[in-house]
Amino acid sequence: MIDLHWLYVFAGAVFAGFAMGSARDETNPKRWGNAAFWSLLVASLWFGDLIGDIGNGALVMGLVGIAGFHVIGRGSKEFSTPQERQESSSQHGNKLFLPALIIPFTAFVGTLLFTYTPLKGLNLIDPKAVTLVLLGCGVIIALLVGYAWLRPPAMAAVDEGSRLANAIGWAIVLPQMLASLGVIFAAAGVGTAVGAIVGTIIPQGSVFLAVLLYALGMVAFTMIMGNAFAAFPVMAAAIGVPILIHADGGNPAVVGAVGMLSGFCGTLMTPMAANFNIVPAALLELKSQYGVIKVQVATAIPLLIANILILYFAGFR
């Protein structure tokens, strides 16, 4: 049966490709620092279960040390000329987006097939990991389609993948780090403390006020910590589980899913989500480093209002 462990192996192979591509880039004076950074991630994904908490903690400290001492950088090597890229764009047009669309299509359709058809009874994929495993399958299919269609050099995926990863740098693993931070906050009792404060504010039976504070809390903690995955353990422990689900009888699926979506509205509005909002501004060479955030606010606020209404009407009706 295919489970998350196979996905970890695949993700480790991707980062191994980044490490290999970094080592191959002779124009990058810090290429060995980059290679070491991605190799530590490979070790975590491939051997994390074997080295235990202390070993994984040491790997994280290594990642922080490499990033903190600015041992990673980016090279100037170009694997295709501007003219070649322009010719490819003119020849294929928007069809170039097809491989990227294969990934969500495979995850969505595959999940439906493995949930509502006889494929479910074959036990090919762990039911708890169907969507994530199929997401990984979508990446592999998209990669194969890209090679069969565009006929790039054999090492194109490695070289271009590492070039993009090195352009983003340490921020590429920021969501995982922040998600870990959220778990630490929850384990430290931050959610319980917030819940105690909220419990004195919300009158018993006031479902809409609880929903409002839950959604706004997800936004606030997301903006502080930079990622909804970090905010969710705190707000779930404070309001989501004890008040909305246990006390008010809310639908757990709606409370969890829409609560996360509310947090993502905060992601759109915070510079702490550097990999989403600050790095793209730098890569696009925008005049303002907050240019991406300014554009996204007009989308984030209406989305938040919609999520609050969905959470209230769908979660408690």
Question: Which pLDDT tens digit goes with each residue over 250-276?
Answer: 999 999 999 999 999 999 998 887 767
Helix axes 252-267, 291-315, angle to 10 degrees: 170
pLDDT digits (tens, 9 = 90+) for 19-58: 999 998 888 889 999 999 999 999 999 998 899 889 988 9
Q: Please give the DSSP secondary-structure letter assigned to residue 118.
A: G
Token couple for 243: 């008040």
109-130 mean pLDDT: 84
The pLDDT tens digits for 213-230 are: 999 999 998 998 878 888
pLDDT given for residue 305 in this prediction: 96
pLDDT score at 283: 66
SS (H, E, C) 132-152: HHHHHHHHHHHHHHHHHHHCC
Long-range (24+ apart) CB contacts under 8 A made by 148-151 are 149/99, 150/88, 150/92
**What are the Cα distances from residue 28, in Å, to 23, 75, 156, 224?**
9, 4, 18, 34
Residue 120 is predicted with a pLDDT of 77
Distances (CA, A) of 273 to 22, 148, 292: 25, 36, 11
Separation of CA 220 from chain center: 19
Contact 257, 244 (CB under 8 A): no
Whether pLDDT at 308 is above 90: yes
Inform me whether the pLDDT recorded for 204 exceeds 80: no
Q: Which helix (H) or strand (E) holds 300?
A: helix 291-315
- Whether the pLDDT of residue 186 is over 70: the answer is yes
Share the mean pLDDT of the chain: 87
Q: Find all residues with CB under 8 Å of 88, minimum gap 6, and list them.
A: 80, 96, 150
Contact 178, 226 (CB under 8 A): yes
DSSP string covering 8-73: HHHHHHHHHHHHHHHHH-TT-TTHHHHHHHHHHHHHHHHHHHHHHHHHHHHHHHHHHHHHHTT---
Cβ-contact 106, 135 below 8 angstroms? yes
**How far lies 17's CA from each of 74, 145, 159, 258, 316, in Å?**
16, 19, 8, 35, 47
- In this prediction the pTM is 0.71
Average pLDDT over residues 98-124: 87
In terms of phi and psi (left: phi > 0; alpha: psi -120 to 50; beta: otherwise), the region of 169 is left
User: pLDDT at position 230, please?
Assistant: 80
- Distance (Å, whole) CA 131 – CA 117: 15
Give the list of residues 6+ apart from residue 303 with CB closer than 8 angstroms, or none: 261, 265, 268
pLDDT at 145 over 90: yes
